[in-house]
């Protein structure tokens, strides 16, 4: 007796992140990000180890949660984000707080030329968004944005040693800011690609659907990509930004020199 074949779901497009941060999605991630923003910004500032006034790019900056805190600490910050809605939100928060920070609409695949800066921060699990060729181009662009000796701080929660040591739950649910996010995960081993389908809903009954994909690299592959882009003096750190990165750590933080 033949077993019924279930059709494979459509592949998440490579440019899924274009138009992702809008509506309920943006509101959910703003609320979720706010719960970890102070701690993350403190880790970033300690790893930058730069004096007040140093120039820093935060890309992608989303709603500015890290960029605004770095600006409050005295850094000259430029946030870059592909979602125009988030850029406007960050600008409004900066104006309300009286912070001198610049926010630009831009793409990780082709960073706008802001002039050479002292440091670049890539935080919020955005490493892995892009297909391999675009990842190579993006890291090269980050290197070009930095002055010689400038510092890169890059973070990812989807490095293989972090993500694949546990079980990827096929279904999960979480709530922030009155918005429930339900997600369905599938892992494409042939591409080392985690694909996620989302359903967001709020108390009013509004429902929005979205999707995402992360390309999963080992820590050694991340290091090789950065070295190929021209970075040196790589330090691979765990979730607290202090201890060396190890199998099972919840995230990888890389500090590197241009």
What's the 3-state SS for 10-53?
Answer: CCCCCCCCCCCCCHHHHHHHHHHHHCCHHHHHHHHHHHHCCCCC
pLDDT, residue 165, reads 84
Residue 126, domain member (yes or no): yes
Q: Are 122 and 48 in the same domain?
A: yes
pLDDT, residue 10, reads 87
Residue 68, domain member (yes or no): yes
Which 8-state DSSP code applies to residue 58?
Answer: E
Q: Are 28 and 136 in the same domain?
A: yes
Q: Are 149 and 173 in the same domain?
A: no
Phi, psi at 173, each rounded to 5°: -145, 140
Given a contact cutoff of 8 angstroms between Cβ atoms, the answer to whether 75 and 97 are in contact is no
Q: Are 29 and 150 in the same domain?
A: yes
Average pLDDT, the chain: 95
Q: Using alpha carbons, select from 179, 64, 72, 62 the residue that is nearest to residue 125.
A: 62
Residue 115, domain member (yes or no): yes
Given a contact cutoff of 8 angstroms between Cβ atoms, the answer to whether 241 and 42 are in contact is no
pLDDT, residue 7, reads 67
3-state secondary structure of 174: strand
CATH number at residue 243: 3.40.50.150
Q: What is the pLDDT of residues 46-68, one digit of tens each?
A: 999 999 999 999 999 999 999 99
Longest dimension (CA), the chain: 72
Q: What is the mean pLDDT of residues 118-140?
A: 96
Residue 167 has pLDDT above 80, yes or no: no
pTM: 0.93
Q: Are 116 and 242 in the same domain?
A: yes
Residue 11, domain member (yes or no): no
Q: Are 53 and 102 in the same domain?
A: yes
Q: Are 204 and 231 in the same domain?
A: no
Residue 10, domain member (yes or no): no
Quote the distance between the C-alpha of residue 202 and its chain's center.
24
pLDDT, residue 108, reads 93
Given a contact cutoff of 8 angstroms between Cβ atoms, the answer to whether 179 and 31 are in contact is yes
Quote the distance between the C-alpha of residue 32 and its chain's center.
13
Residue 146, domain member (yes or no): yes
Beta 117-122 vs 171-176: how paired, if at all? unpaired
pLDDT, residue 2, reads 55
Q: What is the pLDDT of residues 57-115, one digit of tens each?
A: 999 999 999 999 999 999 999 999 999 999 999 999 999 999 999 999 999 999 999 99
Residue 53, domain member (yes or no): yes
Q: What percent of the chain has pLDDT over 90?
A: 93
Residue 4 has pLDDT above 90, yes or no: no
Number of separate domains in the chain:
2
pLDDT, residue 14, reads 96
Which 8-state DSSP code applies to residue 4?
Answer: P
Quote the distance between the C-alpha of residue 241 and its chain's center.
16
Q: Are 204 and 223 in the same domain?
A: no
Residue 150, domain member (yes or no): yes
Cis preceding-peptide flag for 105 (omega within 30 of 0): no
Q: Are 89 and 197 in the same domain?
A: no
In the chain, DSSP assigns E strands to: 55-58, 76-81, 101-105, 117-122, 146-156, 171-176, 179-188, 193-202, 207-215, 232-237, 252-257
Quote the distance between the C-alpha of residue 18 and its chain's center.
14
Domain extent at residue 175? 162-214
CATH number at residue 176: 2.20.130
Q: Are 128 and 79 in the same domain?
A: yes
Which 8-state DSSP code applies to residue 74?
Answer: T
Residue 257: strand pairing partners: 151, 232
Residue 5 has pLDDT above 70, yes or no: no
What is the H or E stretch that residue 86 is in?
Answer: helix 84-97
Q: Are 153 and 169 in the same domain?
A: no
68 CB neighbour count, 10 Å cutoff: 23
Q: Are 59 and 152 in the same domain?
A: yes
């Amino acid at each position: 007796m033949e077993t019924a074949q279930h059709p494979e779901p459509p592949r998440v497009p490579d440019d899924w992140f274009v138009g992702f941060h809008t509506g309920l999605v943006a509101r959910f991630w703003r609320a979720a990000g706010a719960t970890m923003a102070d701690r993350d910004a403190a880790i970033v500032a300690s790893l930058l180890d730069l004096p007040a006034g140093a120039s820093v790019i935060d890309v992608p900056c989303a709603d500015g949660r890290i960029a605004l805190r770095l600006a409050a600490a005295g850094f000259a910050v430029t946030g870059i984000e592909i979602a125009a809605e988030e850029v406007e939100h960050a600008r409004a928060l900066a104006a309300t707080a009286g912070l001198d920070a610049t926010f630009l609409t831009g793409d990780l695949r082709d960073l706008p030329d802001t002039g050479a800066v002292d440091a670049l921060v890539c935080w919020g699990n955005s490493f892995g968004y892009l297909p391999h060729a675009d990842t190579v181009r993006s890291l090269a662009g980050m290197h070009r944005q930095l002055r010689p000796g400038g510092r890169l701080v890059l973070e990812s929660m989807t490095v293989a040693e972090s993500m694949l040591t546990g079980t990827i739950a096929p279904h999960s649910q979480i709530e922030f800011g009155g918005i429930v996010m339900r997600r369905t995960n599938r892992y494409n081993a042939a591409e080392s690609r985690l694909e996620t389908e989302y359903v967001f809903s709020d108390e009013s009954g509004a429902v929005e659907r979205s999707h995402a994909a992360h390309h999963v690299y080992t820590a050694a592959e991340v290091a090789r990509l950065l070295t190929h882009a021209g970075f040196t003096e790589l330090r691979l750190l765990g979730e607290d930004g202090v201890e060396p990165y190890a199998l099972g750590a919840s995230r990888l933080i890389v500090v590197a020199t241009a």
